[in-house]
Amino acid sequence: MKTVLLTGFEPFNGAAINPAWEAVRALEGWSGEDFRVEVRQLPCVFVDANRALADMVDALHPDVVIAVGQAGGRAEISVERVAINVDDASILDNAGRQPVDQAIAEEGPAAYFTNLPIKAMVAAMREAGLRAGVSQTAGTFVCNHVFYGLMRHVAASGRNVKAGFIHVPYLPEQAEARDDAPPSMALEAIVSSIRIAVETAVRVERDVAQAGGATH
C-alpha cells in the first residue's frame, strides 16, 4: 500500500478561497487499491511552508508527493516540469514577506526537475477531456519555493519518492468576481485532474516520450 501526500495552499493575496486547497481537501480519505491519500494544507509563507512540508514528508514517508497551487490566469491544469533556485516575489506572502532575487538554498543546484511522469499525467488528463499541459515555469513565488524545497528534501532523504507540483486555474466564482474575466475551471474538473495525477503517478514507473515543450 503506497502513501500519497497531497498538499494545497491556504488562500493568499487577500483572497477568500484557494482552488488548490478546495480541490485537495475534496480528496481527503480517498484511497485506491494500492494507495491511500493524505491531505494537508500549507501556509502561503516563504520558508515556513517548506519547513511544514518537510515535516509532513518525514512523518508520513509518502511514496508520492504532489503539491498543488493556484495559477490565476492560466486556463489549464499545469503540471510543472522544473523548480528554480530563486525567490522573487511580485506580491507579499501571507506573513508580509517579499524576497527579491534570493536563492532558496545558497548551496543548492540552480534547479530541480520533477521526477513525476508528467507527460503521462497530462496525456491521461487529456484523454479524460480535461484541459492540461506541461508547464516550463512554476514562477518565483511561494509555489516555486515549495516545489524547489520539496525536490531538495526528497533528494536529501535518499528515499525513492516521486514528487512534483501542479498549478490549477481559478474557480468560476473567482473569475466571475473579477473585471478582467480570467479563464477558470470547475472544481469538479480540477478534482478529477488531481485524481488522475495521483493514479498516474502511482502506476507509471517510466514516463512516456511525447512532446510537451514550448518554443519559448
Q: Pick the closer one to its own copies by CB: 60 or 130.
A: 130
Binding region for its own copies (CB under 8 A) out of 24-32, 50-58, 177-185, 197-205: 177-185
Closest separation in Å from C-beta 91 to its own copies:
6
73 part of the interface to its own copies, by CB under 8 A: yes
Cα–Cα distance for residue pair 135/87, rounded to 1 Å: 18
Long-range contacts of 172-179 (CB under 8 A, 24+ apart): 173/17, 174/15, 174/17, 174/19, 174/72
193 part of the interface to its own copies, by CB under 8 A: no
Closest separation in Å from C-beta 118 to its own copies:
9
For cell 515543450, name the residue.
213
Residues designated as active site: 80, 143, 167
Among 69, 94, 121, 200, binds its own copies (CB under 8 A): 69
What's 170's DSSP letter?
Answer: B
Closest separation in Å from C-beta 63 to its own copies:
23
What's 76's DSSP letter?
Answer: S
Q: Which residues contact 139 (CB under 8 A, 6 or more apart)?
A: 71
12 part of the interface to its own copies, by CB under 8 A: yes
173 part of the interface to its own copies, by CB under 8 A: no
Question: What amino acid is encoded at 145 in this protein?
Answer: H
Cα–Cα distance for residue pair 1/94, rounded to 1 Å: 36
Closest separation in Å from C-beta 156 to its own copies:
15
